[in-house]
Structure 1
């Protein structure tokens, strides 16, 4: 495969991801652009003016007049020196060895021609080698970028208690969206022009980045992994409350299970030393003195073939599960400029963790980004991967106003799938109070089973009493403490 450099194809780190058809198509397109750039250097070089000057001197014919011929040669050498000053002395010494002025001129022009050809070849080899190094590095960056996404997701799956992604289609979708967020011009500038980049509907003019810093996000995923407090807060969202406001669906089914005490039906063959259920060929060994020793050895080792028998009994199994509208999450993330940096990466890591957990548990999840305006995204359903990647690519800027986000959250709670949802605001706490009218609407929703939480990163504000619980999280100590709790409902 010409489009994949040997050093990359031979690297076991990239073996699996190179098998992805879309990744391969992307690299093929990059290779076409790479070849075009090589062709460009074949047809363009920084010696074109010198080449033109040389051709002009070649087109001037020699003459019989000695003085005129000497003048022509002097002009040849003057033109040569303009481009090759360091080689002038060498050429002069060689010209003294020529027998006549005509031979000297031919030698000078041939020397210049060879020197120019050598300079062009060395330059071309240097540029192509540099281009090759850049191409290989760009491909490595692209593949490492995709692998960093997988590493981050696998870490999140681990936090969610899932050892391995069980939805290859969803994972493929996430990778596909991630490919769109990568600046493909880095692979080949002459191929991936601005107008050619497919963005799948993303509006990067609203503060979105083309490249997601998964290295930083992954670092804060590890942050969550080591922080018991953050995991406890995440586990609280959408769980069953003790007051019984949340509904539980109950069902029962009849199920046959195997029993160990009652063996009624033959179910197969197994290894053991159950003499009552030996296969006939095993018993036959006892009739042969030569095979009796083998029988005894197999008996000691539990290696005799025996009939396996199994009994069954019917039991009634009870099933309890959350109703479809249970466990839903509404995540409000402060995307103001004061959140940029580590707070931004932590907010993205927490959101990625919560959204992944919700997806794996088939729970509805809704994201509200807020600064002075709001932007909403469904993180459940067919577009969840696209929207999540879109959020992770977002840059944080602007002011802070939490009220529009809370209003949107209250509106969402009226939908069937979010009637019993919990809402969490992830912010640095740099916002003021909200209106009494909005606080009353939040209180009305509490009576319907909804809860409102605030995770304040690095404690930059006063306690917010309109939330059920206001946590303050210190990114240095990785500890969270309750700054305010409404009554005993935590």
Structure 2
């Protein structure tokens, strides 16, 4: 009874306040700890992505568009040894400028076209116009006309004969009077107004890349390096032009890689790591290309098949 008597309402309220304060302090400490852990993890991820982008920018980032897409693609978990493979093939590509020139030629037929500019302002144009002179220089022959000033004397004589007067007026109306044809030209300045013929250039979007790569045993060695470096060059162009780059490997089966997707870096590394030791099934690859070209998203694609055709030429 004495203990209960000493536990007054004021002490009860104080106890609850202290308890609530202790819970708030513990929750705040826990949240701060979680925030610190997430901050450290985020900083670590950003540093890794900055390191990755710094290594790959010279290889794949041709402009700001490519750099932005490359930053988005660097969100995956990549080890240093993985992306060094891309750097190594980038160095090989720099040693083979013919490969890069060949890749840059794809899609060149879709150049920007000029279209008339709408709401063009009016502009005054001056030009010289040649027309018959008011005072010609010399007689050039006879003609039928209604030029009274150049009438032949016989025609003028009929005007004084009563019986032929109406005939004279008929010829005058029908422009059949015989007159001198005089020769001579004069030039005068003609002023006109017309819309300014300025042209706007409508940039034509280029389609995605579809590349068929032969992975048979004959593609080993230098040919394999050229084929992979060529695909890396197309990936670089696709990133810069905001296009897609799709790689198809054909041997006993068709393997797909999209090098510009969100996981494009991982797919590029898997592609560059693959060994070319399979068979050759070109028909299956072409069927896969035709099937993909029927998709509206790929209808404007630049498709290239069997990279064996390019590599020996570049090697020479």
> TM-score, normalization: structure 1?
0.35
Q: 1:417 to 1:252 in 2, by over 3 A?
A: farther
Q: Secondary structure at the match of 2:108?
A: coil
**1:211 touches 1:393 (CA, 8 Å); kept in 2?**
no
Q: Does 1:399 align with 2:279?
A: yes
Q: 1:247 to 1:337 in 2, by over 3 A?
A: same
Q: Distance in 2 between matches of 1:247 and 1:211?
A: 35
Instruction: List alignment gaps of at least 5 residues for structure 1.
Output: 1-18, 27-142, 184-209, 257-313, 429-453, 459-471, 478-490
**1:368 touches 1:376 (CA, 8 Å); kept in 2?**
yes
**1:181 touches 1:393 (CA, 8 Å); kept in 2?**
no
Q: 1:155 to 1:168 in 2, by over 3 A?
A: closer
Q: Secondary structure at the match of 1:240?
A: coil
What's 2:160 paired with? none
Once the two structures are superposed, residues 163-196 of structure 1 have per-residue CA deviations (whole angstroms, 9 ceiling, x without a partner) of x54455422344444x42556xxxxxxxxxxxxx
Once the two structures are superposed, residues 231-289 of structure 1 have per-residue CA deviations (whole angstroms, 9 ceiling, x without a partner) of 44223322217xxxx99695846799xxxxxxxxxxxxxxxxxxxxxxxxxxxxxxxxx
Q: Distance in 2 between matches of 1:392 and 1:169?
A: 23
**1:334 touches 1:427 (CA, 8 Å); kept in 2?**
yes
Q: Secondary structure at the match of 2:280?
A: coil
**1:333 touches 1:426 (CA, 8 Å); kept in 2?**
yes
What's 2:71 paired with? 172
Matched residue pairs, number? 201
Once the two structures are superposed, residues 134-189 of structure 1 have per-residue CA deviations (whole angstroms, 9 ceiling, x without a partner) of xxxxxxxxx9xx66x745541444xxxx3x54455422344444x42556xxxxxx
Q: Does 1:346 align with 2:215?
A: no
Once the two structures are superposed, residues 206-243 of structure 1 have per-residue CA deviations (whole angstroms, 9 ceiling, x without a partner) of xxxx6753454133211233x3xx344223322217xx
Report the RMSD for the aligned CA atoms in angstroms: 3.9
**1:328 touches 1:365 (CA, 8 Å); kept in 2?**
yes
What's 1:22 paired with? 45
**1:165 touches 1:171 (CA, 8 Å); kept in 2?**
no
Q: Distance in 1 between matches of 2:271 and 2:119?
A: 46
Where relative contact order (Cα < 8 A, 6+ residues apart) is larger, the structure is: 2
Once the two structures are superposed, residues 345-382 of structure 1 have per-residue CA deviations (whole angstroms, 9 ceiling, x without a partner) of 32222111112202211233321122221111233454
Q: Does 1:320 align with 2:197?
A: no
Q: Secondary structure at the match of 2:69?
A: helix
- Residue in structure 1 matching 2:295, options 415, 427, 432: 415
Q: Distance in 1 between matches of 2:113 and 2:270?
A: 34
What's 2:106 paired with? 237
Q: Secondary structure at the match of 2:243?
A: coil
**1:334 touches 1:369 (CA, 8 Å); kept in 2?**
yes
Q: Secondary structure at the match of 2:107?
A: coil
Q: Distance in 1 between matches of 2:248 and 2:83?
A: 22
> TM-score, normalization: structure 2?
0.51
**2:245 touches 2:260 (CA, 8 Å); kept in 1?**
yes
* Mapping 1:123-134, distance limit 5 Å: none
Instruction: List alignment gaps of at least 5 residues for structure 2.
Output: 1-41, 122-195
**2:216 touches 2:279 (CA, 8 Å); kept in 1?**
yes
Q: Does 1:473 align with 2:314?
A: yes
Q: Does 1:329 align with 2:233?
A: no
Q: Distance in 2 between matches of 1:341 and 1:329?
A: 25
Q: Distance in 2 between matches of 1:387 and 1:249?
A: 39
- Residue in structure 2 matching 1:427, options 293, 303, 307: 307
* Mapping 1:265-280, distance limit 5 Å: none
Q: Distance in 1 between matches of 2:48 and 2:239?
A: 29
